[in-house]
Chain A
């Protein structure tokens, strides 16, 4: 389905680009959004499955959730950056990248805090 949407939007974009180039970008943007939503659904299923496995082996699911969130943020930031670059907004793309990095730092902050706590305990 995703491949179908991508191919259709590519062909449609090419046609529209000949007559209305400013609309072609919106077509690719809409197709990208639909693909992303479909991916989020698939990734959600994978996440639930992996979480269940983690719970079964008695591992810390908080770590897994944080890393998975970081992955999600990376993908979203990359998608947004690419779209901005398509529109020729390189400066905005850079800002999105920076926001993504800060968000990843925020998501991993509890883990970093835990690591530093352990390190301090070990030294003390």
Chain B
């Protein structure tokens, strides 16, 4: 009887201990707790409505909570669905411009070099190409604003996750540099670059209407100034972030290893267990950090890529039309289409630099 009682006690103790230890290393619980504390759910609210809806369509609005939600095939399929409507406007505009150019060329081929008709065709081509181009500039402004709004929410959350995973100094440097960069880019885009591109386009569209006005020099100067400003700022910020991360990364590593060593040696009896538990928590935080990263990259891709693709398609359409105009000896429409193309190239530059800044900074701090 006594023996049976002892065995029962041992079995119960083992069961309770096992259950307790199993609970203590349940990574899902740790991950869930860390997610709630880091406030990653707020990222979804920081996105514009159309992007949130797109994420819902992608079925990845809960990417942080569900590891199996990411499927490469599904992503490609959804992205291609998202990009299909971007082709329509550019194709319609391209065809309109080509039809007008062909009509003008047909008229010219009868041997009647008519200046008045050339003017009418130039006005027609300008209207066909410029009105959608102006709308595109507005879309770029909205995309840049949405990007900066998302970044303002994302940077503190990601910095929090980085800090909890033992990279406190890196997180502090990252958040300050990135918040400064995001605000800087937003301000420069809103008050300098977008108005400049608007000016460039408006000068470009007004010049074919008057005889002897050539603004190609002004347009080139605006483009050069804007691209130098943006690339200079991006290089400066990324360089600063890289140097800072190299220094702070080593310090963080040292602090983390010291903490583990202290926990492992200074705490009596359970020291090594605490040290191992720290490793598990760190692993969970790394998983959380990667999930947040992937979520942010997809969200930024959804914000910036559609408009980027649209701009690329528009550039192709404008270049084709410009070549056609040159071939048909219609110089003014050709110049106009080239000036619209240069505005699109400039806008592509702004968006690409914003994306690069985001991706490279993430790569720097996550390494």
Contact = CB atoms under 8 A, between A and B. Distances in A.
Interface of A: 50, 53-54, 57-60, 63-64, 66-68, 70-71, 74, 78, 100-101, 104, 107-108, 111-112, 114-116, 118-123
Nearest to A101: B116
Interface of B: 88, 91-93, 95-96, 99-100, 103, 107, 112, 114, 116-117, 119-121, 123-124, 126-128, 130-131, 134, 137, 195, 198-199, 201-202, 205-206, 209
Nearest to B95: A57
15 contacts: A53-B95, A54-B99, A59-B93, A60-B127, A63-B100, A70-B120, A71-B120, A74-B117, A74-B120, A100-B116, A111-B126, A115-B127, A115-B209, A116-B206, A120-B202
B134 A78 contact: no
B137 to A, nearest CB: 7
Nearest to A58: B92
B320 to A, nearest CB: 15
B103 A59 contact: no
Contact of B127 (A70, A114, A120): A114
A104 B120 contact: yes
A118 B96 contact: no
A64 B107 contact: no
B124 A57 contact: no
Interface centre among A66, A74, A116, A118 (most CB of B within 10 A): A118
Main secondary structure on chain B at its contact with chain A?
A: helix
A122 B201 contact: yes
B96 A57 contact: yes
A43 B199 CA distance: 40
A54 B128 CA distance: 12
Given A115-B123, A122-B137, A58 B209 contact: no
B103 to A, nearest CB: 7
B117 A63 contact: no
Contacts, number: 107
A59 B120 contact: no
Contacts of A54: 95-96, 99
Contacts of A108: 119-120, 123-124
Contacts of A70: 116-117, 120-121
Given A66-B123, A74-B116, 12 more contacts: A50-B103, A54-B95, A54-B99, A59-B92, A63-B100, A104-B119, A114-B127, A115-B126, A119-B201, A121-B198, A122-B134, A123-B195
Contacts of A63: 96, 100, 124, 127-128
Contacts of A111: 123-124, 126-127
B162 to A, nearest CB: 41
Nearest to A121: B134
Q: Which 5 A-B pairs have the closest CB atoms?
A: A122-B198, A70-B120, A119-B202, A59-B96, A67-B124
B142 to A, nearest CB: 15
A121 to B, nearest CB: 6
Nearest to B127: A111
B213 to A, nearest CB: 13
Contact of A60 (B112, B114, B128): B128
Contacts of A58: 88, 92
Contact of A119 (B93, B116, B206): B206
Contacts of B95: 53-54, 57, 59
B214 to A, nearest CB: 17
Contacts of A64: 96, 99-100, 124
A122 B209 contact: no
A85 to B, nearest CB: 15
A63 B131 CA distance: 11
A71 B209 CA distance: 17
